[in-house]
Chain A
Amino acid sequence: MLRDINLSIRKGEFLGIIGPTGAGKTTLCLALIGIVPQFHGGRFFGRVTVAGLDTLENPISLLAQHVALVFQDPETQLIANSVEDEVAFALENVRVPRDEILRRIPWALEAVRLGGMEKKHPSELSGGEKQRLAIAAGLALQPEVLVLDEPTSQLDPLGSQQVFATVRELNVRLGITVILVSHASEEMAEFVDRVALLSSGALVDVDIPSRIFTHMDLLDQYGTRPPQVTSFYIELRDRGFEPPSIPVTLEDATQVYEDMRPQVEVKPPAPQPRGTEESSGPILLSARDVEYVYPDGTKALRGVSLDVREGEYLVIVGQNGAGKTTLAKHFLHLLEATEGQVLVNGRDVCNLDVSDLARRIGFVSQNPDNQIFNATVEAEVAFALRNLGISGTELAERVEESLYTFGLEDYRAGHPLSLPKGDRARVVIAAVLAMRPDVLIFDEPTTGQDYCGAKRILDVTRQLHQAGKTVIVITHHLYLMPGYADRVVVMGKGIILLDAPIRKAFHETALLRSTYLAPPQIVQFAQRIALRENLSPPSLGQDYALSILTSEELAACITSRKDNA
C-alpha cells in the first residue's frame, strides 16, 4: 500500500495530499495515527514519528491525544447519540474539563455551520451534515496535528471552501499542523503550503502548489487535474499567447489577466438561440406542490413542483439538506408526500409499488455499500434480472453485457465489498442498469471518486442519455457537469430556487450562493473578466456576456489585439 515514503512535515505546515484512487492516501493518514500498522497489521518497515512520538511504540489512544483524524466516510465515524456528544466524545477521552468542552462545542459546530443542531441525533443529519459533524469533532480537539482524509467530498462547494478556510485559520491562528487529502484542486491551490502527489503507494513529488499544479505532464500521468484557471492559462499558452506566469488561484489568475490586458481582447461567444437545450418529449416524472415532513418534524420539501421530460439530462444541485435526495425518493415511492402529488408516466405513485417503479426508474443511491447484498459481483448484477422473471440464456447474456459495460468481468466471482469504493459504485450501477430502466437517478455518483473515476461514471450517464434514457444526477460537483447536463434545478431549503439551462444556471452566482453553491472557478473568472471589460449581455439569446462553462470555451474567447489589428 505504501512504498519507500520519505516525507517530513514541518510543525505548523498545511500539507495537501493528492493522487488517484488507490494511491495510498488513506493508508498514509492511518499511519500517522498508528492505526497502520497497530490495528490493521501487515508488514511495516521504516519509522513514523508524529509530534515526537513513534507510532509503533506508542498506543493509538496516546497518539490520538496529539493527532486528530477525520475519516473519509462520516457514516462510520459518528458514534454518539447527539451532535454535541459526538463533538464531546474525544474531548472527554483526553480529559478536557467540562467547562472547556462546553465552550468548544458551539465553536466547532459554528465553524462547520451546524450551530443550533446540538441536540439532534447524527442519523437525522444529511450526508454532508454528517461529514461536517465529523470535521467539527476533529476541530474541537485543537490537536497538534489534524489529519483530514477527503473531508469535503460530500460537502456543497461553499461548505467545502468553509472547511478549508476554517482549517487554514486553525493552522495559522493555533499553529496546528494540517494534513489534508482532497481531490478539490482549486481549494488545495489556494489554501495549502505544499502538495504531495501520491501514486501506487509512492510519493511522486512534493512541492508548492504553483509548481505541482502547473506540471501538466505529471498531473495527466497520475489522473489528477489542475485548478480550472490553470487549465485556462495553459490552454492560452497552447494557443500561442504568452502569459507572464501560470497561476493556480483565482486571485493570481485575475492579476495575470491584468498584466496581459494590453495584448488581448475578449470576444464573447456567439449567442445560442434559446430553447435548443430544452426537451420536448412527454412528461415522465412530475411533482406537484409536494411537501414532505420527516417524522422528526423536519420540513424537507416545501411545495416543490417539477416536470421531467423523456430524454432529458437533468442535474439537481443544492446545499446539503436542500431536499434533493428526498425529492428523488418520492419518484420511487420510497417516501410518500405529506402534501401534493407525484406522478410517474401520468400515474400517481401512491398507487404504485416500489418494485414496479424500480423497473422503470433505476436509482443509484449515495452510498454503494448500502446497496450491496450478494456474495459475488455476478450475483449482484443478476439479482434484479431474476426479480424481473428473466432466466437461462437471456439472464447470462444480460449479466455479461452489464459486466462488460462497466469493465467488471474480471471481478465477477469476487465479493463486491472486497472491491475499492469506486469499483463498488460501478457494481451497483451495473446491477441497476441490468434492469434497463427508462429513467436513471444517480444520487451523488461522483462522491469519493478521483477525477478520472468521476469522469468515467459521468461518461456512462452520457452514453445512457445518448441511448435515449432520461438521466437525473444529484450532485455538488458543479464543475464536472458541463458537457453532460442540459438543465439544472437548483434547490435550497426544500424549495426549487431555479430551473434553467446550464449556461444560465451556472452564472447565477448570487442565487447559487444562497444555497451554499458556488459556480465553477472558471465561471467566476469569466465573470470577473466580463466585469473588467464592461461586457454587457447580448440583446438576444444569452443572459450573460461570457456565458462560458469550461476553460477551453473561455480561452476561445481570447484574441490577440495585434492579430486583430
Chain B
Amino acid sequence: MTWRTIGSVRESPLTQLDFRPKLMVMFAATFLAFMWESPALTGALALLIFVLCLIARIRLSYLGNVLLIMLPFYGILLVTHGFLNTHVGRTPVWVAPEAWWLIGGKLRLTAEGLAYGFMVIFRTLTLILVTPLVIFTTDLNALIVGLVRIRVPYKIAFAFSATLRFVPLLLEEINSIIEAQRLRGLALEKMNLLKRLWVYSRIAVPLILGAMTRSQQVEVVLAAKAFSGSPDRTYLHESSLRAADYVVLVICLGVLSVALLLRVTMGLGRFSVPRL
C-alpha cells in the first residue's frame, strides 16, 4: 500500500524501510547538496538520488515529467549564471562580437558561470528527486507514526498527512469538473492551448468552493470519529527499526560526518571548474 497521489510507486526495497531512515536520507542529501558547491560532487549526488529513484521503482514517466517541467528553469539558470555570474566567472568561452549593439565585447559566457549553473541545477535536482524518493515510498500512516516517533507533535504530523491527502482530492475534483463539462458538450479536445487554459482558469471558483465545502465536511467527520489531535491514541501501524533501517542510518551519519570533516580540513566540495 502506498501513497496514491502520483500512483507511481510499486513495492521496492525502499518501501520496506521505516520512514525515519528515509527521512535521514532526505536530510543528508539536502545537507550535502547545500554544503557542496562543486559541480562534480553535486552532480554525483543528483545521479545517486536518481539511481535510488529507479531502485524505488518510481515511474520513469513521473521522473520524465519532472525534468520536462524543470527544463525551462534550468535553461534560464544556465544562461543567467553563464553570462551574468561575475562572482565566479573568469574564463570566457564565448564573447559577443564587437559589432553587436550595447553588448558587443561585454557579454561573456564563462566556463565558471556555466559550471556554477550546472551546480545549482544538480542541487535543485537532488532536492526535487529526494522528496518523491522519501514520500512516495512511504505509506501515509507509516509517515504519521514515523513523524510522531521523532517527536513531531501528532497534530502537525496529521496536518502534514492531511495536506498530502488533499492533493489527490483536488486532482479528482478537477477531473470530475472537467468530465462534467465535457458531458455538457464542452469540446476540450478541439481547443487550442489558450482556450484550454481559459477553461481551466474558470474552474477555479467551483474548485475552491468544492474544496472549502469538503474541508468543512472533513472537519465534521474527524470530530465524529473522536479525532482531537491528541497524541494520546493508539496506532494500527507499528514503527520499529530493523537491521536494514539501522544500516541506512549509520551510512547516512557516516557519510555526513566524513563529508563535513573533509570539507573543514581539506576544503572538499568547494566550487571549482571540473577539468576535462
- A interface residue numbers (CB < 8 A to B): 33, 35, 39, 59-62, 64-65, 68-69, 71, 76-77, 79-82, 84-85, 88-98, 101-102, 105, 119, 121, 123, 137, 295, 332, 334, 353-356, 358-359, 363, 365, 369-375, 383-384, 387-388, 417, 431-432, 435
Complex Cα–Cα for A388 and B187 (A): 10
B187 to A387, Cβ gap below 8 A?
yes
B187 to A76, Cβ gap below 8 A?
no
- Chain A residue numbers with a CB within 8 Å of B187 are 353, 355-356, 387
- Chain B residue numbers with a CB within 8 Å of A97 are 234
New A-B pairs, 18, CB < 8 Å, besides A76-B217, A358-B183:
A33-B224, A35-B224, A62-B226, A79-B165, A81-B165, A82-B139, A88-B236, A91-B236, A98-B238, A105-B236, A123-B168, A363-B183, A369-B210, A371-B176, A372-B206, A373-B181, A384-B185, A432-B184
Complex Cα–Cα for A375 and B226 (A): 35
How far, in Å, is A333 (CB) from chain B's closest CB? 10
B223 to A39, Cβ gap below 8 A?
yes
Interface string of B118-142 (1 = CB under 8 A from A): 0000000000000000000001110
B185 to A358, Cβ gap below 8 A?
yes
Complex Cα–Cα for A457 and B175 (A): 27
- Chain A residue numbers with a CB within 8 Å of B225 are 64, 79, 89-90, 93, 137
Complex Cα–Cα for A431 and B185 (A): 11
- Chain B residue numbers with a CB within 8 Å of A91 are 234, 236
A435 to B165, Cβ gap below 8 A?
no
Is B87 located at the chain interface by the 8 A CB criterion? Answer: no
B221 to A92, Cβ gap below 8 A?
no
Complex Cα–Cα for A373 and B226 (A): 33
How far, in Å, is B215 (CB) from chain A's closest CB? 11
Can you give 14 contacting A-B residue pairs, CB < 8 Å? A76-B217, A77-B221, A81-B3, A82-B141, A121-B4, A123-B172, A334-B183, A354-B179, A355-B187, A363-B183, A370-B177, A371-B176, A383-B181, A388-B185
A95 to B203, Cβ gap below 8 A?
no
Name the interface size band of chain B.
Answer: 35 or more
Is B220 located at the chain interface by the 8 A CB criterion? Answer: yes
- Chain A residue numbers with a CB within 8 Å of B172 are 123
With contacts A85-B236, A98-B238 known, is A35 near B223, CB below 8 A? yes
Closest to B187 in A: A355
With contacts A89-B225, A363-B183 known, is A417 near B238, CB below 8 A? no
A355 to B189, Cβ gap below 8 A?
yes
Q: Is the interface of B mostly helix, strand, loop or mixed?
A: helix
A353 to B203, Cβ gap below 8 A?
no
- Chain A residue numbers with a CB within 8 Å of B184 are 358, 383-384, 387, 431-432, 435
A101 to B220, Cβ gap below 8 A?
no
How far, in Å, is A532 (CB) from chain B's closest CB? 48
Within 8 A of A (CB), among B211-257: 213-214, 217-228, 232-236, 238
B183 to A371, Cβ gap below 8 A?
yes
Complex Cα–Cα for A243 and B221 (A): 48
* Cβ-neighbour of B180 out of A62, A82, A371 (below 8 A): A371
Complex Cα–Cα for A374 and B180 (A): 11
- Chain B residue numbers with a CB within 8 Å of A121 are 1, 4
With contacts A92-B234, A95-B232 known, is A432 near B226, CB below 8 A? no
Complex Cα–Cα for A123 and B188 (A): 26
- Chain A residue numbers with a CB within 8 Å of B181 are 373, 383
With contacts A35-B220, A61-B223, A76-B217 known, is A93 near B185, CB below 8 A? no
B183 to A387, Cβ gap below 8 A?
no
Closest to B219 in A: A39
A39 to B220, Cβ gap below 8 A?
yes
Closest to A33 in B: B224
Is B190 located at the chain interface by the 8 A CB criterion? Answer: yes
* Cβ-neighbour of B1 out of A71, A90, A119, A358 (below 8 A): A119
Complex Cα–Cα for A76 and B4 (A): 18
Complex Cα–Cα for A129 and B31 (A): 46
- Chain A residue numbers with a CB within 8 Å of B1 are 81-82, 119, 121
Interface centre among B176, B183, B190, B235 (most CB of A within 10 A): B183
- Chain A residue numbers with a CB within 8 Å of B236 are 84-85, 88, 91-92, 98, 101-102, 105
Closest to A101 in B: B236
Complex Cα–Cα for A123 and B175 (A): 14
- Chain A residue numbers with a CB within 8 Å of B233 are 92-93, 95
- Chain A residue numbers with a CB within 8 Å of B234 are 91-92, 95-98, 101
- Chain A residue numbers with a CB within 8 Å of B183 are 332, 334, 354, 358, 363, 365, 371, 432
Closest to B4 in A: A121
- Chain B residue numbers with a CB within 8 Å of A388 are 185
How far, in Å, is B146 (CB) from chain A's closest CB? 14
Complex Cα–Cα for A353 and B1 (A): 35
Complex Cα–Cα for A387 and B184 (A): 7
With contacts A84-B236, A119-B1, A334-B179 known, is A94 near B226, CB below 8 A? yes
- Chain A residue numbers with a CB within 8 Å of B180 are 365, 370-373
Complex Cα–Cα for A60 and B214 (A): 19
How far, in Å, is A27 (CB) from chain B's closest CB? 13
Is B182 located at the chain interface by the 8 A CB criterion? Answer: yes
